[in-house]
Amino acid sequence: MNISYDWLKEYIDLNVPPEELAKYFDQIGLMVESTREVNGQTVYEIETYANRPDTLGHLGIARELATLFGLPLKMPGWQLSELEQSTFDLIDIQVLDSQLCPRYCGLVVRGVTVGPSPEWLKKRIEAIGLRPINNIVDIGNYVCFSLGQPLHTFDLNRLKEARIIVRRARKGEFIRTLEGQLVELTPDMLVIADDSKPVALAGIIGGEESGITEKTTDVFIESANFDPVSIRLTAKKLGLSTDASYRFERGVDINAAPLGARMAASLLGQFGGKVSRGLLDVYPNQRKPRSVPLRLKRISELLGIEIPEEFVTRTLTSLGLKLNEQKPGVWVAEIPSFRVDLEREADLIEEIARFFGYDRIPSEVTPTRSFELPGNQEQDCLWLLKETLLHYGFDEVINFSLADPEKEKIWQTGYQPIELRNPISSRTSILRTSLLPGLVENAVWNYNREANGVHIFETGKVYFWEADGQQGEELHLGLLTSGLKEQKSWAQPARETDYFSLKGAIEDLFFYLGYEAPAFEPEDHSFFESGQSVKILTKNETAGYLGLLKPEIRKAYELEKLAYACELNLADLFDRQPRAFVFAPVPRYPGMVRDLSFLVEAQVNFQAIDVQLKKLNVPYLERFEIYDRFEGGSLPAGQISYSVRFFFRHESRTLLAEEVERAMLNIISHLKSTLKIQLR
Amino acid sequence: MSSLPEKIEQYRQVLNDLAAKTKNIKELEEVKQAFLGRKNGHLTLLFEELKQLPPEEKRAAGIALNNFKMEVQKTLAELEEQCLRPRAEKTVSDLTLPGKRIYWGAPHPLTLFQRKIEKIFVSMGFSVEDGPEIETDYYNFEALNFPPYHPARDSWDTLYINDKLLLRTHTSPVQIRVMEKKKPPIRIIIPGKVYRRETADPTHLPMFHQVEGLVVDRGITFAHLKGTLEYFIKALFGEKVKLRFRPSFFPFTEPSAEVDIECLACHGQDSQCRVCGGTGWKEILGAGLVDPQVFKNVNIDPEKYSGWAFGLGIDRTAMLAYEIPEMRYFYENDLRFLRQFNRR
Ligand SMILES: [Zn+2]
């Protein structure tokens, strides 16, 4: 809303110079976004709020300043030079829907000469950022930006039968607006019609065929009040937003309608116009002023400071409220019709705080009666997870949750995607069902910008329709590793990332978070190269996948380099309680180490050996590690050589060599019988 | 039987032979033991022998033996130094070459900044809550006192899924969800992603991060809101930062306020400043006392309880703190940008 300093002076004798006014606006919550000079007058662009339609005119803003500065508000009188005829003789008004049009006022002005506005009016119109058009249109805008009451002016002679009917549109009716747009109307829309057809979209925009032209001499001024919700629905539906609809949908003062008509008629008198006798005012259900109780005690209870009673009454009275004291410190406030926002005691307390000044309210720390026990394990788990991955050299990324349906299709994530009804673009029209597409795009972006390795992770939600039609959100972890992991330096050669770097990070993730080690089962997946991916299982349930991204996906994103990726469902994981941590005694007796090298058929993977060894439950076996593995060379085809190191220990005495030898024999015979190993 | 001086001569030979062979501390220990061992050490035995000598021989032999003892100690000390000294290939010829460093990944700046905020509030006894990003109209708007069809909704441009579901436009719906479940006192913050139907520009993107705070208890006042937020902002931006509270409007708070901090780029000194537009102030958060209608919607009696709430854009605040000119940097995920933030 543009506010002109000179215009304000029509209503208030400001004693603050224009350059200092901005800070006072800010102080009472009329935030000045910019200050400009227009034709030598200072114009402030003020941010107004949806609940304050009274600030959409200079009068309302002047009222705020009058309260702040303790100055009186000046109300000009509007002299009318009248005709012989009464308004009723010149026009016939019927309001058929007083729900959607609670008040309709009008006056006829005859003998007007349409022409350019005088300089003073042009200056006003330019100050609010509009272009002067002609004296009649400009007066309409002048009144609108003075009182906040939108007007519409009709050429009386273009209204069929000089009749105005305020009614809902009929099915199949059309109107061509003043902007030349042909609009199809529906029965939920309120129109202003003449005897035959709609001539204006009520409260939004006029029709071309009834508008003012250069030849107009007789004008009908409409100054009405329309239902905010109806105006908003119609304006939204038609994609129209005008100065009028902007005000009506916020709620125009019901008592501004007669004033608006009179003010416009009086001004038209300057262009030869004579005004019909008697204001036409259709207002069948008169509204009573709202009453709101106010307690002095409650003001200090909410603001945390005692506000003098004299300040309270002076401020509210200046804002137009009538205070009726019930008993000391208790009032019933009668709210003026232009303040549609004041409904409850809290609203009045805000007015008092606003004018008292937020800076004069003290600052105190919020007292506490009790503290919650530290909870929310998920936040802690998530941070620990991130720290572990950072330690592994993964950088954290955050991608948009909005995704491109065409690109997501390639992944076949298996989730039913959620589509947006009003997306910003077709490329952001669904919610992501996997974190990996974003990570691949990040890899491409960085490879195109000097990177020779990308190791990244993201934690965030994926979204989908559940089988039962409910919306689902699931916290996931995505990782991607590609290219050089360590750069070549004077001290060491470059090192490429690989499958095991990623798998190791995942294994450690479970370890550091205190969860049981997951199982990795080779299984093909739509994201990965055939035979090059594993399913990650926790407690026999699928938690995610890890593998080498398949060429079709890399091609779709133009990712030339190989990339390993992993996606894990964290929601299920975090639902589980990690194992409680208690320390294990440090060994007091020396351990013994034995190595075993053997050959096994190539189809036996390490996990099979691992499972067999764990199953066996060997006494005193502390742990075992695979320290060598090779195939080919001098080995028979289809055979793999493993070397495993076993660590034995007794917790309360030194082990005997025979005990260890016996255990090793046990291991060997078990592996021979189950996996057909051959010792080397 | 050889004489004591002869024996000394023999052992000198033994010492020299052993010294030539000794390569490590363990072997050195054996040599030490052989000569200085308390019971059978060569020197120990030689001194025993010395005691048996007649006085006329004792003096000369004593001098010789003491000299030998010093010789042994000197040789052992030299040997020890030799054993501990690193081999040539273990030493560095150019000590100024760059060291071997281990790369730590960088946390995303928004994660970093969110954690800073969380820490400040957790230290004041707040707990961290979260909630769904796909919300219903009821939680996102109606329960927060946005009437249906009210223009107040225009400031919260919404991405809809269908008539019932939308992407939350702020973290405030979690206020409602928590108040429905929990009785006061309540002291929470809610960080998370929010969505708006906005075309991208330097300070607007369709997705960004917000943190919401809520306190509900008996006797909570606007002064408490001011004091707590002042503490928070100073903890975040430093003790010297100037701030101001301005009246504003939000449907879910009454009275409402916006908080500005002084422009960190120009401190109000540059009328052409690109960060603050010359006003000298940057808006960083919206706040207010919880609207009585919001309390009624969750069955909390506004006559008994009062509360305050605030909402802050994490992205925009991080932009101010780190002097990042455009919001898109956060979501491009350029490693050259992200990796600056492992200098936490
Ligand atoms: Zn600045």
Of A353, A386, A461, the CB nearest to B133: A461
pLDDT of residue A344: 95
**In this complex, is the C-beta atom of A492 within 8 Å of any C-beta atom belonging to chain B?**
yes
pLDDT digits (tens, 9 = 90+) for B274-286: 888 788 889 999 9
Q: What are the counts of helices (DSSP H) followed by strands (DSSP E) for chain A?
A: 20, 33
Here the CATH number for the domain that contains residue A308 is 3.30.56.10
Residue A29's closest chain B neighbor by CA? B247
Q: Is there a single domain that holds both residue A230 and residue A171? A: yes
Interval B214-225 mean pLDDT: 97
pLDDT at B206 over 80: yes
Q: Which of residues 52-91 of B touch A (CB under 8 A)?
A: none
How distant is the Cα of A535 from the closest Cα of chain B, in angstroms?
A: 26
pLDDT value of position A374: 66
The pLDDT tens digits of the residues spanning A220-279 come to 999 999 999 999 999 999 999 999 999 999 999 999 999 999 999 999 998 888 999 999
pLDDT on residue B315: 96
Tell whether B227 is within 8 A of chain A (Cβ): yes
Quote the mean pLDDT of chain B.
91
pLDDT value of position A381 = 87
Task: For residue A365, tell me if it sits in a domain.
Answer: no
The amino acid sitting at B24 is N
pLDDT digits (tens, 9 = 90+) for B296-309: 999 999 999 999 99
Q: Do A301 and B215 touch (CB under 8 A)?
A: no
For residues A186 and A113, membership in a common domain is answered with yes
* pLDDT beyond 90 at A376: no
Instruction: Please report residues of B whose CB lies closer than 8 A to that of A449.
Output: 334, 336
Tell me how far apart the alpha carbons of residues A316 and A262 are, in angstroms, rounded to a whole number. Answer: 28
Range of the domain at A318: 291-360
Distance between B228 CA and the closest CA of chain A, angstroms? 5
Q: What is the ipTM, given to two decimal places?
A: 0.89
Interface of A with B in 13-72 (CB under 8 A): 26-29, 31, 34, 49-52
Is there a contact between A395 and B249 if contact means CB atoms under 8 Å apart?
A: no
Dist. CA A277–CA A259, nearest whole Å: 15
Give the span between the Cα atoms of A18 and A12, in whole angstroms: 13
Structural contact between residues A476 and A439, judged by C-beta atoms closer than 8 angstroms: no
Least CA distance to A233: which residue of chain B?
A: B149
Do A98 and A200 lie in one domain? The reply is yes
Rg (CA), chain B: 40
Q: Is A470 on the interface with B (CB under 8 A)?
A: no
- DSSP 8-state secondary structure symbol assigned to residue A199: E
Instruction: Mutation target for A interface from B221, B294, B332: give the one with most A CBs within 10 A.
Output: B221
Confirm if A290 and A138 have CB atoms less than 8 A apart. no
Q: Do B333 and A397 touch (CB under 8 A)?
A: yes
Cα dihedral B290, B291, B292, B295 in deg (nearest 10): -60
Interface of A with B in 337-356 (CB under 8 A): 344-347, 349-350, 353-354
CATH number where A521 lies: 3.30.930.10
**pLDDT above 80 (res B140):** yes
* CA separation for the pair B28, B22 (Å, rounded): 6
Given this model, what pLDDT does residue A665 score?
A: 95
Bridge pairing between strands A621-631 and A678-679: unpaired
Question: Is A468 touching B (CB cutoff 8 A)?
Answer: no
A611 touches chain B (CB under 8 A): no
Cα separation, A140 vs A261, in Å, equals 10
Tell me the nearest-neighbour CA distance from A470 into chain B, angstroms.
10
Going from the Cα of A45 to the center of ligand 1, the distance in angstroms, rounded, reads 19
Q: Does B254 touch chain A (CB under 8 A)?
A: yes
Q: Which segment, A371-380, A663-672, B152-161, is predicted with the most confidence on average?
A: A663-672
Buried b (16+ CB within 10 A) or exposed e, B121-140: bbebebbbbbbbbbbbbebb
Statement to judge: residues A401 and A422 lie in one domain = yes
Residue A375 has pLDDT above 80, yes or no: no
Chain B: nearest CA to A371, how far in angstroms?
6
Whether residues A275 and A299 fall in one domain:
no
Count of residues making up chain B = 344
Hey, are the CB atoms on B125 and A372 less than 8 Å from each other? yes
Residues 171-230 of A with CB under 8 A from B: 228-229
CA of A134 to the centre of ligand 1 (A): 42
* Residue that finishes a domain, picked among A242, A260, A282: A282
pLDDT at B1: 58
The identity of residue A142, as a single letter, is Y
CA distance B303 to chain A (A): 9
Among B110, B162, B227, beta carbon nearest to A364: B227
When pLDDT is averaged across residues A383-396 and rounded to a whole number, the result is 95
First to last CA, chain A: 89
What tens digit of pLDDT does each residue of A10-29 get? 999 999 999 899 989 999 99
To the nearest whole Å, the CA of B252 is away from the closest chain A CA by 12
Classify residue B91 by burial, with Cβ atoms within 10 Å: 0-12, 13-18, 19+.
exposed
- Please give, rounded to a whole number of angstroms, the shortest distance from the CA of A351 to a CA of chain B: 8
Inform me whether the C-beta atom of residue B292 falls under 8 Å from chain A C-beta atoms: yes
The pTM for the full model equals 0.89
Report which of B290, B236, B289, B303 is spatially closest to residue B264, judged by C-alpha positions: B236
**A170 & A252 share domain:** yes
pLDDT digits (tens, 9 = 90+) for A304-347: 999 999 999 999 999 999 999 999 999 999 999 999 999 999 99
CB contact under 8 A, B226 and A358: yes
Residue B344's pLDDT is what? Answer: 61
pLDDT band with cut points at 50, 70 and 90 for residue B192: very high
Residue A549 and residue A425 in one domain? yes
Q: Which of A235, A252, A282 is the last residue of a domain?
A: A282
DSSP characters over A472-532: EEEEEEEEEEEEEEE---SSS--EE--HHHHHHHHHHHHHHHTPPPPEEEE---TTEEEEE
Query: In this structure, how many other beta carbons lie within 10 angstroms of the beta carbon of residue A677?
Result: 22
Residue A667 has, within 13 A of its CA and on its CB side, a CA count of: 29
User: Hey, which residues 354-373 in chain A have their CB within 8 Å of chain B?
Assistant: 354, 358-359, 361-372
- Encode pLDDT of A40-63 as tens digits: 899 999 998 888 999 999 999 999
> Are residues A403 and A311 both part of a single domain?
no
Q: What's the CA gap between A75 and A63, in Å, rounded?
A: 11
Whole-angstrom distance, CA of residue A405 vs CA of residue B138: 28
Nearest CA to CA, how far is A389 from chain B (Å)? 7
Looking at residue A229, its pLDDT comes to 93
Same domain (yes/no): A393, A542: yes
Q: Number of structural domains, chain A?
A: 5
Dihedral angle, C-alpha A610, A616, A618, A624, nearest 10 °: 0
Closest-CA residue of chain A to B245: A358
Mean pLDDT of A554-573: 95
Tell me the C-alpha distance between B287 and B178, whole Å: 18
CB-CB under 8 Å, A376 with B127: yes
Confidence (pLDDT) at A264:
95
Please give the pLDDT value at position A83: 82
C-alpha radius of gyration, chain A, whole number: 40
Domain boundary among A223, A247, A282: A282
Architecture of domain B109-342: 2-Layer Sandwich (3.30)
Residue B83 or B304, more confident: B304
Average confidence (pLDDT) over B251-265: 93
Does A250 share its domain with A330?
A: no
What whole-number distance in Å separates Cα of residue A565 and Cα of residue A549?
A: 7
Q: Compute the count of residue pairs across chains A and B with CB atoms less than 8 Å apart.
A: 243
DSSP letters for A357-405 = -GGGS---PPP-S--PPS--HHHHHHHHHHHHHHHTTPEE----SEE-H
Show residues of chain A in contact with B333, CB under 8 Å. Answer: 397-399, 442, 445-446, 456
pLDDT (mean) for A191-220: 92
Chain A residues touching B199 at Cβ < 8 A? 424
Partner-chain contact A232 B193, CB within 8 Å:
no
B84 vs A117: CA distance, rounded Å: 103
The CA distance from A269 to A74, in Å, is 22
Tell me the helices (H) and strands (E) count for chain B, helix number first: 12, 9
Cα–Cα distance for residue pair A325/A335, rounded to 1 Å: 14
Indicate the burial class of A12 (C-beta count within 10 angstroms; 0-12, 13-18, 19 or more).
buried
Average pLDDT over every residue of A432-441: 98
In a domain, A370, yes or no: no
> Is A246 inside any structural domain?
yes
Q: How far is CA A264 from CA A83, A105, A124, A140, B45, in A?
A: 16, 12, 15, 7, 131
* Cβ separation B219–A367 shorter than 8 A: yes
- What is the C-alpha to C-alpha distance for residues A242 and A177, in angstroms, rounded to an integer? 12
Distance A32 CA to ligand 1 centre (A): 16
Residue with tokens 């109806």: A230
